[in-house]
Amino acid sequence: MKAKKLLPLLLGLAVLLGGTSQDAAQQTPPPSAAESYANTADSLHSLLADLLTAAKSDENRSPKIAEMEIPDYENWFTRTYGQEKGPALASAYGKSLKLTEQQFGMLWVELAKGEGEISISKLDAANRKFDFAKRDDTLANPTDEFAAAWTKTDSSAGPAKQTIGYFCFVDGKFRLRSFPHEVQILSTTKPGPVVPPKLINRVPPAYPVLARQSRIQGLVSVNVVIGKGGTVTVQNVGAGHPLLAPAAVAAVQQWKYEPATISGEPVEVGAKIYVTFELAKQQGEQKQ
């Protein structure tokens, strides 16, 4: 198998106050880690390494992830991409924001299970590849943009490489510009037009009884290989509640796709699938 090549394709798609002024001066906490990072690839690497360390020690990462939201994003997108494209990009960003932060947090849970290396590359006009913007989009107000990736260095199950996300530096902090859903071409083929896999048969997961009784819900991420025939082979569970994970795997194994193709030739791809468990939806189905 030749070196794997990442091709971005869409799969569908979280201060303390108090004390006198003197106490506050003595007890004011140091600036958050995100505030101390400079606008460089090395600083972004340090920030992501800190997130990985926090995940490995099971520390709360939600505040730091929440700090990565682009502030006043409606105006930022308009300033950056112009009046013609900015509002639409801002709308797409806002609609996906909550889910993006949730999935981004799950990724660190997954990466913390194994060993690997974080790599950072600074993007220019020739290799920008955001979910919401085309490569040839002209920036009305150019901004520094970075791509972060993970390469596994151990023998654990799961994909050898994963994209961590695309980042920009806004108001003195790194912001998560997009968390892409990409597939990885696994089978050797000649270059050409790429058509992503298309889900044609989705089997919903059976809600585990104990999870339902315990009021447990949420996402489970599953790393899979979609074969040339459109069948799904599960590599491993990336992240998710252990009471939900087996049901997610059992469901995904039954899914069927039209395979991805390059120049019309079916190819094997690796992908990450998110399976949602919602109590409200489950209860609604039971009443029907």
130 located within any domain = yes
User: Given a cut of 90, is residue 176 above it in pLDDT?
Assistant: yes
pLDDT tens, residue by residue, 130-169: 434 444 456 666 678 899 999 999 999 999 999 999 999 9
Instruction: Characterise 164 by phi-psi region: left (phi > 0), alpha (psi -120 to 50), beta (else).
Output: alpha
Do both 40 and 155 map to the same domain?
A: yes
Do both 139 and 39 map to the same domain?
A: yes
Domain residue limits at 55: 32-180
Tell me the sheet residues that pair with 220.
275
Q: Which residues of 231-246 are buried (b: 16+ CB within 10 A; e: fewer)?
A: ebebebbbbbbebbbe
Instruction: Count the domains in the chain.
Output: 2
Do both 191 and 169 map to the same domain?
A: no
Mean confidence (pLDDT) of the chain:
83
Length in residues, the chain:
288
Q: What is the CATH number of the domain that holds 277?
A: 3.30.2420.10
73 located within any domain = yes
Start-end of H helices in the chain:
21-27, 41-56, 62-66, 73-111, 209-213, 245-252, 279-287
18 located within any domain = no
Do both 120 and 70 map to the same domain?
A: yes
Do both 221 and 239 map to the same domain?
A: yes
Do both 167 and 43 map to the same domain?
A: yes
Residues 6 or more apart whose CB falls under 8 angstroms from that of 18 comprise none
223 located within any domain = yes
Query: What is the token pair recorded at 224?
Result: 């899979």
